[in-house]
A and B are shown apart, each in its own frame.
Chain A
Amino acid sequence: MKAFRIKISSWTSSFRYPNLISGFQPTLEVPPVSTVMGLINAASGRYWENREITLGYYFSFKIKTVDLETIYQIKANDKNYPEATVKPNVIQREFLYDCKLFLYLTNEDLIAAFRQPAYQLLLGRSGDLAGIESIEKVELNEVNNARFAGQVVPFNGNYLAGQIQALPKYFSNTIPRRNLGTEPYSVISCYNPVQSPLTGYRPDLEEFDSDIFLHKFEV
């Protein structure tokens, strides 16, 4: 299969752990599909709707460490609107250092967006500025018994090992944002590869040792 590989790098990254609101903030070791979709939207400058998306990615980092951060906690009232009560608090937040995202896309419109991104690209939070290193044509070859690392794979039907988290595929375009298509995923870090019985894709232009799982869904 023909595809394009977009290589993006950032100094730091941090991906929110679902379900944890206060206290220590760990980071996922792989961005969820929704984060990558957000990156695509930032590059194109618009919210993609009603289309079929095929994407695969591999994310690696050098080290995971902890930052101290001041947060301002705002209380919500019974209608879920914020009250004007602000409390500063110091928390520990994990982040990843020296990060790379290899994004595989087949849709030409989406690739065009990365040649001239509309907004600044971020790998994680607003401090995690990222840059595009290269965009290249690659051939994805189908392989059986794929070996996965540095990505998330839907748990249902695949039942891979690894940390299991309920992650969204996408977010709605409304206030407040709603999770769209949340389902359990196996989060497979680049440091813990998993041998699977699944079909994956092996890119010919390899800078890492993993096959790629292609996510297909409609938004």
Chain B
Amino acid sequence: MKNIKTQGFVLIDVDVVALNNAGKNTQSNNDNAIATKSIRKNGRNYVYVSGQAWRYWWREALQKNAKWKLSPIVRDGKIAYTHANPLEFPDDDVFGYMRAAKDAELDENGEPKKDKKGNVKMTNVTVTRVSPLKNSAIISATSVAPAQNWSSMARQEGDAVPYEKQEYSAIMKGMFSLDLSMVGTFSNYDRTGYKNLSVLLQEEALKSGAKEIDDPFVVDAKGKPKKLIRLSKDMRIQRAGDTIQALKVINGGAMQTNNMGDVTPKFIILATTTTGNHPFSHVVSNRGQRDEEMVFNIDGLIEVLKDYRDTFEGTVFIGRRSGFMDEIAGQLKNLETMTDIPKVKVLPVNEAIDQYCEQMKSQID
């Protein structure tokens, strides 16, 4: 079993948006003023979108565009029943969960206990799965001063209701990491985060064609590797591919009606590594009196490509939308000719995603 991850870095470029809001703006004199989420550092303001919000957009994009059947939450009055079935629902698989489930009660020999009628006795268990897809928050690459937009809600009758919201234009950076070896691969150990499946679900998986493979990291008391349950290769390729492809069409963010913003990447780096280390966190920085100008750190990118050369598998794909950061087009293209770094291919964004996904098919074992 190979240990491989997709490491991704994206830049989005948005104009006059309010992607993720932070509730009441206490700085405003206006009663109903909304603030956008921002971080103040060294007296400068950086707007951001929570990691949680980005995940929400991602999940929606998979449902709408990749036709993913999302794990349903069934509501019955005040009670909501949730599924934790990563066999049937790909979002449970890729995004993880921590949920209550029913499971067979086991006797000392590990066999399910039966009641007088011969039915399997059930008990409550907690199943958890650490998300194979991890993502950062999306943070503006430069300092940004949001504008206070004074708006009003007005109809033909009655008084207009004024309100305020913050809006900004920014280039924002985000990174993510998808654990390709864990997509469609489940453990069932009595450890927090590792009990992915109930006993019943595990049996169902094995019956419907899932395979048992050796865990490369975890051994039992006798020193033998423990077993992981793995879905078919096709299904794992499909799920991992869908997840990356969704970036092409991802949309979301607050105030879409008034401030629709395009949150698909305008720049992307996609690479497969054999380690969990994310190498691309420092490829953009800023300069200027108020850190207002974004700088692409091409030397920094070359440095990590060199430093971690042994850990990259296959080609590193860099996608750039024309019109965005045209000034570095030449420098990026130069990377393709360098010999002391892994092979690099510079393409338009969607083409980079497609070719990366194609490469990923041959890398997933």
A→B interface (CB under 8 Å): 9-12, 42-43, 45-47, 62-63, 65-70, 74, 77, 79, 81-86, 97-98, 116-122, 126-133, 173-177
Cα(A9)–Cα(B201), bound, Å: 39
Q: Which residues of A contact B131 (CB under 8 A)?
A: 126
Are B137 and A11 in contact, CB atoms less than 8 angstroms apart? yes
Q: Which residues of B contact A9 (CB under 8 A)?
A: 281-282
Main secondary structure of the interface of B (DSSP, over half): strand
Point out the residue from B39, B175, B277 that lies within 8 Å of A97, measured CB to CB.
B39
Are B216 and A65 in contact, CB atoms less than 8 angstroms apart? no
Some 20 contacts from A to B, beta carbons below 8 A apart, are A11-B136, A11-B137, A12-B51, A45-B216, A66-B22, A67-B37, A74-B99, A81-B124, A81-B125, A85-B78, A85-B79, A86-B73, A117-B275, A117-B276, A118-B3, A121-B276, A126-B51, A128-B136, A130-B281, A173-B191
Cα(A132)–Cα(B281), bound, Å: 10
Closest 3 CB pairs of A and B: A127-B51, A82-B100, A117-B276
Give the one of A117, A118, A131, A133 with max B CB within 10 A: A131
Cα(A43)–Cα(B135), bound, Å: 18
Cα(A89)–Cα(B311), bound, Å: 41
Instruction: Please give me the residue from chain B that is nearest to A68 by CB atom.
Output: B22
B259 at the interface (CB under 8 A from A): no
Contact flags B236-264 to A (C-beta < 8 A → 1, else 0): 00000000000000000000000000000
Q: Which residues of A contact B37 (CB under 8 A)?
A: 67-68
B198 at the interface (CB under 8 A from A): no
Q: Which residues of B contact A62 (CB under 8 A)?
A: 41-42
B25 at the interface (CB under 8 A from A): no
Instruction: Please give me the residue from chain A that is nearest to B80 by CB atom.
Output: A86
Q: Which residues of A contact B80 (CB under 8 A)?
A: 84-86
List 18 additional contacts besides A116-B274, A127-B135, A175-B191; criterion CB under 8 Å.
Answer: A9-B282, A45-B216, A47-B218, A62-B42, A63-B40, A69-B50, A70-B52, A74-B98, A86-B73, A97-B39, A118-B276, A120-B177, A121-B277, A127-B134, A127-B136, A131-B277, A174-B191, A174-B192
Are A129 and B179 in contact, CB atoms less than 8 angstroms apart? no
Are B126 and A82 in contact, CB atoms less than 8 angstroms apart? yes
Are A175 and B278 in contact, CB atoms less than 8 angstroms apart? no
B90 at the interface (CB under 8 A from A): no
Are A131 and B279 in contact, CB atoms less than 8 angstroms apart? yes
Contact flags B119-132 to A (C-beta < 8 A → 1, else 0): 00000111000110
B30 at the interface (CB under 8 A from A): no
Give the one of A45, A69, A117, A128 with max B CB within 10 A: A117
Are B134 and A129 in contact, CB atoms less than 8 angstroms apart? yes
Q: Which residues of B contact A98 (CB under 8 A)?
A: 41
Are A42 and B276 in contact, CB atoms less than 8 angstroms apart? yes
Q: Which residues of A contact B139 (CB under 8 A)?
A: 11
Are A119 and B135 in contact, CB atoms less than 8 angstroms apart? no
Are A65 and B39 in contact, CB atoms less than 8 angstroms apart? yes
Are A119 and B276 in contact, CB atoms less than 8 angstroms apart? yes
Cα(A133)–Cα(B282), bound, Å: 10
Q: Which residues of A contact B96 (CB under 8 A)?
A: 126
Point out the residue from A67, A122, A175 that lies within 8 Å of B126, measured CB to CB.
A175
Are A126 and B130 in contact, CB atoms less than 8 angstroms apart? yes
B23 at the interface (CB under 8 A from A): yes
Cα(A118)–Cα(B276), bound, Å: 5
Are A43 and B50 in contact, CB atoms less than 8 angstroms apart? no
CB distance from A92 to the nearest CB of B (A): 9
Q: Which residues of B contact A43 (CB under 8 A)?
A: 276
Are B39 and A120 in contact, CB atoms less than 8 angstroms apart? no
B320 at the interface (CB under 8 A from A): no
Are A131 and B278 in contact, CB atoms less than 8 angstroms apart? yes
Are A129 and B277 in contact, CB atoms less than 8 angstroms apart? no
Q: Which residues of B contact A12 (CB under 8 A)?
A: 51, 136-137
B195 at the interface (CB under 8 A from A): yes
Are A118 and B217 in contact, CB atoms less than 8 angstroms apart? yes
Cα(A97)–Cα(B38), bound, Å: 11
Are B217 and A46 in contact, CB atoms less than 8 angstroms apart? yes
Cα(A116)–Cα(B42), bound, Å: 34
Instruction: Please give me the residue from chain B that is nearest to A115 by CB atom.
Output: B275
B59 at the interface (CB under 8 A from A): no
